[in-house]
Amino acid sequence: MNVQVGPDQLLARDDGVAKGEVLLDIRNVSLSFGGVKAITDISFNVLKGEIRAIIGPNGAGKTSMLNVINGFYTPQLGTIVFRGKQRRSMKPHEAVGQGIARTFQNVALFKGMSTLDNIMAGRSVMMKRNIGWQMLWHGPALAEEIEHRRAVEEIIDFLEIQHIRRTPVGKLPYGLQKRVELGRALAMEPSLLLLDEPMAGMNLEEKEDMSRFILDVNQQRGTTIALIEHDMGVVMDLSDRVVVLDYGKKIADDVPDIVKADQNVIDAYLGVPH
């Protein structure tokens, strides 16, 4: 009678890549819009199970980089190898199918829908029954719905948002909306989670909470995370490795302690007299 579901069932999907091996490899990628070069010849990789940060001053090309990774932009040059498969162009929904989920700099939720429904929406890519079955709401479709609902409840429990389960997200404070958005991304059980400024506009307490959740997602579920963030303190504490972009070029790529001491990085952030 007791539904005993533990966090152990919440692992990231098996993607055939062992922990510590290369999950995503960016090779010599360049992207330009007309004459504007957003990204120039950038290479770095993301290892399975790590938290990888992409940082840089405004306009450095960070969000463009995320958009390249999840297939929203197609780079003119270079290749991307994800889970051992090479690709140049990919549609965002194909990226989702391959196990890449993301959150956005500006929250992009369905404002009129409840927290529960928003996270449930994240499961829709996994629903096997077609819309006809789902409208019938019977038999296999019902069983499938119950199974997905359980997964969603685990995420709600994980993110401690039980009290807003039925609240329309438009009514929620910003910090909680960010959490719901993370929940929706988690619902896809991604093998790579892209977070675009997960702490933008948050107060200290909300940032601490969010850091905790990101670490827990990484540790508990084994999800590989690539994140963009402006708050240096947060980045240096959270991430295993940091890649630094400036004017679309890579200027550093190492563990936080070394990146922090790198003269190029300091110059890029503080500015140097030209």
Considering the complex, state which of residue 21 and residue 160 has its C-beta at the smaller distance from other proteins: 160
CA distances from 222 to 7, 37, 99, 204 (A): 11, 35, 13, 26
Q: How far is the CB of 118 from other proteins (least distance, A)?
A: 15
Considering the complex, state which of residue 91 and residue 150 has its C-beta at the smaller distance from other proteins: 150
Considering the complex, state which of residue 11 and residue 258 has its C-beta at the smaller distance from other proteins: 11
Answer yes or no whether residue 219 interacts with other proteins by CB under 8 A: yes
- Non-local (6+) Cβ contacts of 163 within 8 A are none
203: left (phi > 0), else alpha (psi -120 to 50), else beta? Answer: beta
Residue 146 parent element (H or E): helix 139-158
Answer yes or no whether residue 206 interacts with other proteins by CB under 8 A: no
CA distances from 104 to 59, 109, 210, 247 (A): 16, 9, 15, 21
Residue pair 254/242 in contact (Cβ under 8 Å)? The answer is yes
CA distances from 248 to 4, 167, 244, 252, 257 (A): 49, 41, 10, 12, 23
* Cα–Cα dist 146/149, whole Å: 5
Which of the residues 135 through 164 are near other proteins (CB under 8 A)?
149-150, 153-154, 156-158, 160, 162-163
Binding pattern for the stretch 161-200 against other proteins, x by CB under 8 A and - elsewhere: -xx-x-----------------------------------
Considering the complex, state which of residue 153 and residue 254 has its C-beta at the smaller distance from other proteins: 153
Answer yes or no whether residue 121 interacts with other proteins by CB under 8 A: no
Q: How far is the CB of 239 from other proteins (least distance, A)?
A: 16
Please choose, from the candidates 29, 33, 124, 32, the residue with its C-alpha nearest in 3D space to the C-alpha of residue 69.
29
| DSSP E strand boundaries for the chain | 22-33, 36-47, 51-55, 77-82, 85-87, 100-103, 192-196, 224-228, 241-246, 249-254
Report residue 130 as tokens.
């077609």
Answer yes or no whether residue 5 interacts with other proteins by CB under 8 A: yes
Answer yes or no whether residue 3 interacts with other proteins by CB under 8 A: yes
Q: How far is the CB of 219 from other proteins (least distance, A)?
A: 6
Answer yes or no whether residue 249 interacts with other proteins by CB under 8 A: no
Give the binding range for other proteins (CB under 8 A) out of 2-10, 31-39, 46-54, 55-63.
Answer: 2-10
The count of other CB atoms within 10 Å of the CB of residue 146 is 9
Considering the complex, state which of residue 9 and residue 263 has its C-beta at the smaller distance from other proteins: 9
Answer yes or no whether residue 263 interacts with other proteins by CB under 8 A: no
Report residue 224 as tokens.
């590989």
Among 74, 79, 134, 220, binds other proteins (CB under 8 A): 220
Give the binding range for other proteins (CB under 8 A) out of 31-39, 66-74, 196-204, 208-216.
Answer: 208-216
Considering the complex, state which of residue 85 and residue 166 has its C-beta at the smaller distance from other proteins: 166
Q: Which residues bind other proteins (CB under 8 A)?
A: 1-3, 5-7, 149-150, 153-154, 156-158, 160, 162-163, 165, 212, 215-216, 219-220
